[in-house]
Each structure stands twice: as structure tokens, then as C-alpha cells.
Amino acid sequence: MSRERARRRAERERVAAELAAARQVEQRRQARRVARVSALTSRLPRRAPRPGGVLAERRRRQLWATVALLVVVDVVAWNAFPSWSARALALIVTLLAAPVLHTLLFRRA
């Protein structure tokens, strides 16, 4: 009975040692990866944090709505006009009208 318990304990310890060795290898690999990534990203410029809050989110939504509307207008103009000059003119007009359209759509009261 004692030999059997000793054999089981030895087996458990062997399995635990194998798991610890595998865990240690994985930790070393992860540490090397983190070092590589941090060495690469330390050379890159930092991004400015995006402004948060309700007002900034509303402003982003309004801007995306204006851009989406102008893209739809340009797609319709692209399909409606067969000549390249008319398409280019429509693109130029939408670019020039964008600030006016944005102001009219999202006027501050």
C-alpha cells in the first residue's frame, strides 16, 4: 500500500514538474514577445488621446453623418452622369458645399 502511494505521489510530482517547466517556457516566450513589441512601439510616435464625453461623441456622429450624406450624393452623381467632367464637377461641388451643408444640418441653436 505504501509503495503504491509513493508511486502515485512520484507520478503527480513528475506531472507537476512537467507542467511547471511548460509554464516557465511559455512565460519566457511571452516575455520575449513583450520585449520585442515594446522595443518596436517605443520608436513609434504616441497617438493623441481621442477626446471623450458626450459632446465629442455627438460631434463625431454629426461629422460621420455629413460625410455619409456627401458620399451618397457623389455615388448618385457618379451613376447619373456619364461624362467624367460632370462627375468631377459634382465631386468639387460636394467638397465645397460640405461645410455649408454641415452648418445647415447641425446648426447650434
Residue 45's SS3 state is coil
Provide the residue ranges of all domains of the chain, joining segments of one domain with +. Answer: 1-46, 54-105
Q: How far apart are CA 33 and CA 50, in angstroms?
A: 28
Residue with cell 502511494: 5
- Tens-level pLDDT at each residue, the chain (109 residues): 788 888 899 999 999 999 999 999 999 999 999 999 998 888 888 888 888 899 999 999 999 999 999 999 999 999 999 999 999 999 999 999 999 999 999 987 5
pTM above 0.75, yes or no: no
Q: With 0-12 CB in 10 A as exposed, 13-18 as middle and 19+ as buried, what is 106?
A: middle
**Backbone torsions φ then ψ of 50, nearest 5 degrees:** -75, 135
